Structure 1
Amino acid sequence: MPDKVLVVDDSALMRRLLRQLLEEAGFDVDVARSGREGVERLLSGEPDVVTLDVNMPEMDGLNALALMMESRPTPVIMVSSLTSQGAQATLEALALGAVDYVTKPGGTISLNIEDVAAELVAKVKAARRARLRSRPLVRARRTASSPAERRPAREASRPVPARRVGHPAGVVVIGVSTGGPRTLEDILPELPGDFPWPVLVAQHMPAQFTAAFARRMDALCALQVIECEGPTPLQAGTVVIAQGGHDMVVNDRLGRLVAQAVPETPSQPWHPCVDVLVDSVMRHVAPQRIAGVLLTGMGFDGAASMARLHRAGGTTVAESADTAVVFGMPKELIDAQGATEVLPCTRVAAWLVQHVRQHTLQEA
């Protein structure tokens, strides 16, 4: 029996186009014209996946999503506009429990629907297998858990080389895709404001979303969270989010490490690309001073580079299957025997705090 998809959109044209697209991909499709009707169809039709418009009259996508997650938790993909308001609403939806999102094509929708066709079908298929997680929204700055709650890091197996003058003591690199915004809310707000290593994040996300995402995370974190627009120094107390529509690399400028946005690497299918970022960090920082974290996401971006980091003496963490929304990217790292640790996302922040503390004590 084919999977059931419920399309919720107030536009008759969008409902028709999405229905045709998904039926051609082999799905059994039902439609709803409003958020309220979508909640009713969710309960009566019991679909496997829902696509949900963000902006609708009477009941918008956020309110409908909240009712869906309360009444019958189901994988939901938000259909969002490429606007600042659409980005903010989509990020709020991901925090409420939506699995992923696609952006509506601009211009004449009927002519441009093919621009998102493959992405939508792939994300619906992935959502069918996604693990739903339920937790309250994070609304206040928090600090890391107490030392008694932290899991000790694995003892270092080799000496840590001296760092270059002007370079940070170490660097944390995080790669994440589908389910990432909500997963990062389990990690970044738990890092204390005096966390001594800069944190670099490659989250697969389009250009119009990363600035809004950085602002949202900055409001939640004790660390400063910024988008990498121009050359950005790597310094303690800072999280740098890769700019959508680009890849992010680390370079040495007059003895100081900076993160930079560069054009997307044509040979890579995902952007901002995790592999590109990790490889660039390894060119300037000793592997023993790098902590790589690979979180939820479709595909395999980051697995190869973090496996190389692991083999070179760096430390890597793969998110475990019990919390990963989509256990694709971290599974690839585990299968490549490139994960030093396999942890649920809720334990990653405490592990990072302990890991960095251990390095600091070794150098004291």
Structure 2
Amino acid sequence: MIRLLIADDSALMRKLLTGIFEAEGDFETAVARNGVEVLELARSFQPDVVTLDVNMPVMDGLTCLSRLMLETPCPVVMVSSLTQAGAESTLEALHLGAVDFIAKPEGTVSLSIDTIRPALVQKVRDASRAKLRSSLRLAERVRHQIRSAASGLATPAPPPARPPALRRPVLRPPAPEPLGMRDAGEGMVLVGASTGGPHAVETILTSLPADFPWPVVVAQHMPTMFTGIFAERLNRACAMTVMEVNRPTPLLPGHAYIAQGDADVVIGRRPAGLVALSVPVSPAYRWHPSVDRMVATAMQHVEPGRLLGVLLTGMGNDGAETMAELRARGGHAIAEAEETAIVWGMPGDLVRRDGADVVAPLPDIAAAIVKGIRTHASR
């Protein structure tokens, strides 16, 4: 049985969500009306997964998540509204440690909840098997444990400061040392990610310098409401320029391109050079934006030896087949190691296909990318 804690301030939503999961037959559920109740039940009910609403009274979802990850860490799936504010809060939740998210249906909830039923159940099942990042707010967790032990109190420590709003200006980090690869020539880095991917993508892109010699194109499974805000967030945090692909976009060194959600990104060539295009999804591919489609089209326009694929955390196998083909044709492929992947589905499938030149934990992947490009540039 999967122990699921459902948190939502709406009695109707709590009833509907409880009905969905109890009908599956292998869920044991408990419900909470606000963040305070979540923290109490996390200790007594000990859930395997929590579904957490963002907007709740007494204690909102972000504050609750921040406390939960300090006191009783467990996989969390955020249930957020399809609004810009909801998207921003959701991305902040993923930064704080949530495993995944799903958008609430629009309109009358009772009439449209079935539209998200299959995806919601699958996401919660996947989250029950997911690993939390071992490094997630480790210093804060240690300080919290020391405070609790010193006080001898069973009650939780005061909550940490509310995370800063996403619209607050973020200073770019100091640019890493120049790569010294001006002669790297035309090439491209192709990154695929799904569950747990936003943190992994951010970790890599913030580690690359402004003078990175190849463009980086990212297919992160995410709805369109979220990808533009995700790109804006990364652009504030990275030395590279980061943008969403929502029109034909020239691919330039020192730039990273986030595929638009609910579409696929394909690579093309124009007289002036390589471009990324956002195109309608193809039924030939199961997940979107499709990693397989991105890699396949890149190989049509760039010599495989000038392509470097990176497959990060995610459920399923999107990208594994084409990145294995890329390596077989002389390209380079990196898979995230199981020890750091929230879900070792996509990179694990690439490894099982013997399609990865390098299998590396997340903190080492940026360096592996730089090394891979240097290897190609020296040929």
TM-score by length of 1: 0.91
2:349 to 321, 332, 342: 332
Partner SS, residue 257 of structure 1: strand
Does residue 235 of structure 2 align to residue 237 of structure 1?
Answer: no
Superposed displacement of residue 169, structure 1: 1.7
Superposed displacement of residue 143, structure 1: 5.7
Superposed displacement of residue 36, structure 1: 1.1
1:143 and 1:247 map into 2 onto residues whose CA distance is 33
Does residue 116 of structure 2 align to residue 111 of structure 1?
Answer: no
Once the two structures are superposed, the pairs formed by residues 19-58 of structure 1 within 5 Å of their partners are: 19-25=18-24, 26-58=26-58
Structure 1: which 5+ residue stretches go unaligned? 151-161
2:192 to 165, 175, 197: 175
Check the 8 A contact 1:144/1:349 in 2, yes or no: no
Query: Could you list the runs of 4 or more consecutive aligned residues of structure 1 that deviate by over 2 angstroms after TM superposition?
Result: 134-147, 357-362
Does residue 186 of structure 2 align to residue 187 of structure 1?
Answer: no
What is the alpha-carbon root mean square deviation over aligned residues? Answer: 1.9
Q: Deviations over 1:35-65 (max 9, x none)?
A: 1111111111111100000111221110000
1:353 and 1:85 map into 2 onto residues whose CA distance is 36
Check the 8 A contact 1:143/1:189 in 2, yes or no: no
2:128 matched residue in structure 1: 128
2:172 to 132, 141, 144: 141
Q: Deviations over 1:233-256 (max 9, x none)?
A: 011010000000110001111241
1:249 and 1:334 map into 2 onto residues whose CA distance is 24
1:158 matched residue in structure 2: none
Check the 8 A contact 2:175/2:210 in 1, yes or no: no
Superposed displacement of residue 354, structure 1: 2.1
Once the two structures are superposed, the pairs formed by residues 178-217 of structure 1 within 5 Å of their partners are: 178-217=195-234
Partner SS, residue 122 of structure 1: helix
Check the 8 A contact 1:227/1:240 in 2, yes or no: yes
The count of residues paired between Structure 1 and Structure 2 equals 344
Identity percentage of aligned residues: 51
- Aligned AA (1:214): A
Task: Give the stretch that moved more between structures: 181-190 or 193-202.
Answer: 181-190
1:254 and 1:41 map into 2 onto residues whose CA distance is 61
2:66 and 2:334 map into 1 onto residues whose CA distance is 32
- Aligned AA (2:76): V
Partner SS, residue 218 of structure 1: helix
TM-score by length of 2: 0.87
Superposed displacement of residue 146, structure 1: 7.0
Partner SS, residue 116 of structure 2: helix
1:257 matched residue in structure 2: 274
Superposed displacement of residue 350, structure 1: 1.1
Partner SS, residue 366 of structure 2: helix
Task: Give the stretch that moved more between structures: 236-245 or 53-62.
Answer: 53-62
